[in-house]
Amino acid sequence: MATTTQVEEHVSLKLLLNEKGNKVLFAEAGKDFVDILCSFLTIPLGTIAKLVEKESSIGQVTVGCLNSLYGSVANLDEGCFSTKTTKQMLLQPINSAEDYCNTLKLNIDDTQPTKYFACTNYNACYYRDMSMTSSTFFFFWYKTSSTFKDNLKCRCGNYFTRPVLLKHLPQGFVNGVATFVITDDLTIKPNCIDYTSFSLFKEFGVKNPSSVKEVVLNVTKEKVLDLLKCSLLSKSTLTDLFLEKKPSLERSRFILSDVEIRDNIQINLKLVIRKSDNKVMYAQGQQDFANLLLSFLTFPLGGIVRIFGENCSFGSMNGLYKSIVDLDENQYLTSMEAKNRLVDPCIAPQLKLSKQILPILDPGVLEYYGYFEGVVTSNNIIQVQIFKPGVDKSYAGNFKKLNSSNVMNPVDGYVKGPAMYFATDDLVVAPLTPISALGLLNRLNTPLNELKEKVITIGIKECLSILKASLTSTSALTNGLAHMLTEVKEEK
Ligand SMILES: *[C@@H]1O[C@H](CO)[C@@H](O)[C@H](O)[C@H]1NC(C)=O
Ligand SMILES: *[C@@H]1O[C@H](CO)[C@@H](O)[C@H](O)[C@H]1NC(C)=O
Ligand SMILES: *[C@@H]1O[C@H](CO)[C@@H](O)[C@H](O)[C@H]1NC(C)=O
């Protein structure tokens, strides 16, 4: 490919507009565009927070409390965190489907890819282990922590310096030949006999074929960023994006979902509530509370939609998610594994805590398979594919399972304890000291006698409710704990 080309990288998209030209009826696209759309579901919320603050033609947008939560992590002192890399891990959370996303034609996620290394003497280890039952020692490290790499040795005595290329074959999420119809709310439908017919036109109220307008667009990286922003806020994403309307904000509902709960957790909180309107000004708790809120940044978008289903009105994400669930993996996706990465995305294993706070969205247990392009020599590139255990890998060819070893031993929490933290209603998290409490009360600008305190214990149900409220409102605590606040009124 020419490197000197003046044409900006783009993917092509065809739109069908209504008669007046003020609404997108649907779009038609191939793999390049649909893969980008699918990849949104794999992005961790921390990365979402980072991306929506970037400038693009629709400007910065606010997604619930995500921006303020993310910003407060950036402001937290490194000393609060349990390891040197934890802060970085939360600000640049690893996407567990990075191996799929790094082949996207346009990738808006500028998170540094995780680097993987094998032993310098990999080939010797590889061959020795072939004859033994145990597998090759293989190892990966977090991108910014050079110290790990330099101090660790393979059991053969060599250091881990040989770069490994993480690659998933076949590439991307959807079938390369198929084309798709995408509705205004980002429902993806295969271009098949059910849709390429009158029924599709009828569905969109097209009476006269000559009255609709067709537009062909080149979607650039900046437009993809706009697409992500609109898709989080609006149910008419394509219209808002391409006809340059302001995203039409959805008003969200707060329904507590019936999520199956196995191991409940208990987090003790003290809420500081404004008497006049029952608004939670802030909550204070220990490190478990801070860890809970920080863990939100590690959750992939698709995992959130999976948990809350139709009860979380989150832009066009539900439509997108549901339509991928309905796509036939044999025909329209590259593999069942690809579909699984989208509809059941996991937290990257590197972000794992020794005891996961919410027993949902478990960090993935991933298996690593190594292979060489061509014959094994001392300098050809080691390529590695990741799979979830149990998936059918038969199409992947002759791979050798690697003994992966994550040098980052799981920590108990992202922040150290014992420590006290507070979180404001919009989830600004900071250490709590008598002096910081005073500063906070000053900023609230509310006389002390207009405030009251309430001690509560929250479980998974409330945690999920806070999470849900944090995505769609800037009052995560007031909305998420609403059912506990009304009790306060009754007490009086
Ligand atoms: C994987 O490597 C570790 C570290 O050398 C070793 O302790 C473990 O036994 C290995 N596991 C297998 C299955 O070979
Ligand atoms: C899209 O890009 C192609 C080059 O790849 C160019 O020929 C075409 O004119 C562009 N279309 C639009 C609508 O900008
Ligand atoms: C959504 O809420 C309704 C009513 O509370 C409930 O019946 C349904 O199971 C919920 N769905 C999900 C996916 O949580």
Per the model's pLDDT, the better-predicted residue between 389 and 476 turns out to be 476
The H or E element that residue 146 is part of is: helix 146-151
Tell me the average pLDDT across 480-488: 80
Report the alpha-carbon distance of residue 429 to residue 287 in Å, rounded. 11
Residue for token pair 């000004």 = 281
Tell me the average pLDDT across 22-37: 95
Question: Residue 2 CA: which ligand is closest?
Answer: 2
Which residue's CA is minimally distant from atom 11 of ligand 2? 218
- Categorize the per-residue pLDDT at 159 as very low, low, confident or very high, splitting at 50, 70 and 90: confident
Mean pLDDT, the chain, rounded, equals: 83
- Amino acid (one-letter) located at 34: V
Ligand 3: which atom is nearest the Cα of residue 256? 5
Give the Å distances, CA to CA, from 55 to 38, 218, 229, 243, 295. Answer: 22, 20, 11, 19, 26
The CA-based diameter of the chain, rounded to the nearest angstrom, is 78
Res 171: pLDDT: 87
Question: Residue 219 CA: which ligand is closest?
Answer: 2
pLDDT digits (tens, 9 = 90+) for 471-483: 989 999 999 999 8
Model confidence at 134: pLDDT above 60: no
Tell me the average pLDDT across 415-441: 94
Ligand 1: which atom is nearest the Cα of residue 133? 14
CA angle 239, 243, 249 (to 5 degrees): 50
Lowest mean pLDDT segment, chosen from 42-56, 190-204, 298-312, 349-363: 190-204
Ligand 3: which atom is nearest the Cα of residue 258? 14
262 Cα: distance to centroid of ligand 3 (angstroms) = 18
Helices and strands per DSSP (H, E), number in the chain: 19, 16
Probe target for ligand 2 pocket from 218, 222, 242, with the most ligand atoms within 8 Å of CB? 218
257 lines ligand 3 (CB under 6 A): yes
Residue ranges in 260-310 assigned as alpha helix (H): 287-295, 301-308
Please name the residues in contact with 262: beta carbons below 8 A apart, sequence gap of 6 or more: 359
Res 131: pLDDT: 45
pLDDT digits (tens, 9 = 90+) for 65-108: 999 999 999 999 999 999 888 898 899 998 989 889 988 999 99
Ligand 3: which atom is nearest the Cα of residue 259? 14
Ligand 1: which atom is nearest the Cα of residue 403? 1
Per the model's pLDDT, the better-predicted residue between 358 and 292 turns out to be 292
Res 151: pLDDT: 61
258 lines ligand 3 (CB under 6 A): yes
Per the model's pLDDT, the better-predicted residue between 264 and 315 turns out to be 315
Report the alpha-carbon distance of residue 385 to residue 224 in Å, rounded. 27
Ligand 3: which atom is nearest the Cα of residue 311? 1
Lowest mean pLDDT segment, chosen from 67-71, 208-212, 486-490: 486-490
Phi then psi for residue 119, to 5 deg, are -60, 140
**DSSP structure class, residue 279:** E
Model confidence at 144: pLDDT above 70: no
Per the model's pLDDT, the better-predicted residue between 439 and 116 turns out to be 439
Res 314: pLDDT: 83
Per the model's pLDDT, the better-predicted residue between 161 and 28 turns out to be 28
Structure-token pair, residue 459 = 């479980």
pLDDT digits (tens, 9 = 90+) for 428-439: 999 999 999 889
469, 428, 481, 477: which is closest to 67 by C-alpha? 428
Per the model's pLDDT, the better-predicted residue between 380 and 455 turns out to be 455
Report the alpha-carbon distance of residue 45 to residue 38 in Å, rounded. 15
5 Cα: distance to centroid of ligand 2 (angstroms) = 13
Per DSSP bridges, beta strands 367-372 and 137-141 are unpaired
Res 407: pLDDT: 54
Residue for token pair 């084309």 = 179
Res 271: pLDDT: 97
Name all residues whose Cβ lies below 6 A of ligand 1.
134-135, 137, 155, 403, 405
Lowest mean pLDDT segment, chosen from 114-128, 135-149, 403-417, 435-449: 135-149
Res 396: pLDDT: 53
Report the alpha-carbon distance of residue 11 to residue 106 in Å, rounded. 8
Question: Residue 242 CA: which ligand is closest?
Answer: 2
Question: Residue 129 CA: which ligand is closest?
Answer: 1
The H or E element that residue 454 is part of is: strand 451-458
Ligand 1: which atom is nearest the Cα of residue 154? 5
96, 104, 93: which is closest to 173 by C-alpha? 104
Tell me the average pLDDT across 39-67: 94
pLDDT digits (tens, 9 = 90+) for 176-185: 999 999 999 9
Which residue's CA is minimally distant from atom 13 of ligand 3? 309
119 Cα: distance to centroid of ligand 1 (angstroms) = 14
Res 450: pLDDT: 93
Ligand 3: which atom is nearest the Cα of residue 310? 13
Res 42: pLDDT: 96
Res 109: pLDDT: 92
Question: Residue 401 CA: which ligand is closest?
Answer: 1
Res 488: pLDDT: 45
Phi then psi for residue 234, to 5 deg, are -125, 150
Res 140: pLDDT: 54
Question: Residue 307 CA: which ligand is closest?
Answer: 3
Domain ranges of the chain: 11-82+175-251+309-335, 98-172+345-406, 267-295+415-484
Query: CB count, 10 Å around CB of 306?
Result: 18
Model confidence at 132: pLDDT above 50: no
pLDDT digits (tens, 9 = 90+) for 224-239: 999 999 999 889 999 9
89, 83, 95: which is closest to 70 by C-alpha? 89
Which residue's CA is minimally distant from atom 14 of ligand 2? 218
Name all residues whose Cβ lies below 6 A of ligand 2.
7, 216-218
Which residue's CA is minimally distant from atom 13 of ligand 1? 134
Model confidence at 446: pLDDT above 80: yes
295 Cα: distance to centroid of ligand 2 (angstroms) = 42
- Amino acid (one-letter) located at 281: M
Res 9: pLDDT: 92
Per the model's pLDDT, the better-predicted residue between 327 and 243 turns out to be 327
141 Cα: distance to centroid of ligand 2 (angstroms) = 41
